[in-house]
Amino acid sequence: METTYINRKDHIKQVAQQLFRKNGYTATSMRNLAGEIGIEPASLYSHIKAKEDILQQICFGLANDFFSAANPICDSLMSPEEKLRRAIVAHIQVITNNLDASAVFFHDWRHLGTESLKKFRTLRSEYEELFRSIVREGMAECVFRKVNEKFMVLTIFSAMNWTYEWYQPGTNLNSEVIGNNVADMLINGLKTI
């Protein structure tokens, strides 16, 4: 799971993810974090500069994962429908494989400092553009219905990004199946064909 680690810094990140997910970034104190790890609060500062550093690590680390998963798909020569399907599956796999980080990512990114916040928003726009270009391509080829492009992408993200709220590893289906189901639902609708 998300409990393996090599060094203290990674350990801090792991535990922080769990606590931030459970109680929220603001409601989690450095004393909570230190206590959960089993060290004194001041000792944290041998490994990190500030509380916000941890949040940055989590948010930008996961952003990187999302890009790494989506980029090769977008650069490929598959059809728009196949691209979209695979991009959805890849996105959902990143989420389900990093549930703690995802929860923090979607919930607490706004508590990043001014500069990080700006960077985060830029990355998010860039990432959304990846999906938007697939959708645009599909509309041009008349494979996707021609509705407001931004709106379609937002609905796709809506359906994908809520996953962390309910997905429970073990009790649910595995992440690839979940991803394919969401993709199916979005592409074909819930109506019988």
Three-state secondary structure call for residue 186 = helix
For the bound state, the minimum distance from the C-beta of residue 134 to its own copies, rounded and expressed in Å, comes to 11
Structure tokens at 189: 């609708």
For the bound state, the minimum distance from the C-beta of residue 8 to its own copies, rounded and expressed in Å, comes to 27
Please tell me whether residue 49 binds its own copies under the rule CB under 8 A.
no
Q: What are phi and psi of 167, to 5 degrees?
A: -70, 130
Q: Which lies closer to DNA via its Cβ, residue 44 or residue 73?
A: 44
- Helix 8-23 / helix 99-108 crossing angle, nearest 10 deg: 60
Q: Which does 151 bind (CB under 5 to 8 A by kind): DNA, its own copies, none?
A: its own copies
For the bound state, the minimum distance from the C-beta of residue 174 to its own copies, rounded and expressed in Å, comes to 13
Check: CB of residue 25 under 8 Å from CB of residue 32: no
82 CB contacts (<8 Å, ≥6 apart)?
A: none
Instruction: Report CA torsion sign: 72, 78, 83, 85.
Output: negative
For the bound state, the minimum distance from the C-beta of residue 188 to its own copies, rounded and expressed in Å, comes to 4
**By CB under 7 A, what part of segment 29-88 binds DNA?**
29-32, 34, 39-47, 49-52
Q: Whose CA is closest to 59, among 29, 89, 16, 11? A: 16
Please tell me whether residue 111 binds DNA under the rule CB under 7 A.
no
Please tell me whether residue 26 binds its own copies under the rule CB under 8 A.
yes
58 CB contacts (<8 Å, ≥6 apart)?
A: 13, 16, 17, 20, 101, 104, 105
Please tell me whether residue 76 binds its own copies under the rule CB under 8 A.
no
Q: Tell me which residues touch DNA (CB under 7 A).
A: 7-8, 28-32, 34, 39-47, 49-52
Q: Which residues bind its own copies (CB under 8 A)?
A: 24, 26-27, 81, 107, 110-111, 135, 142-145, 147-148, 151-152, 154-163, 165-166, 173, 178, 181-182, 184-193
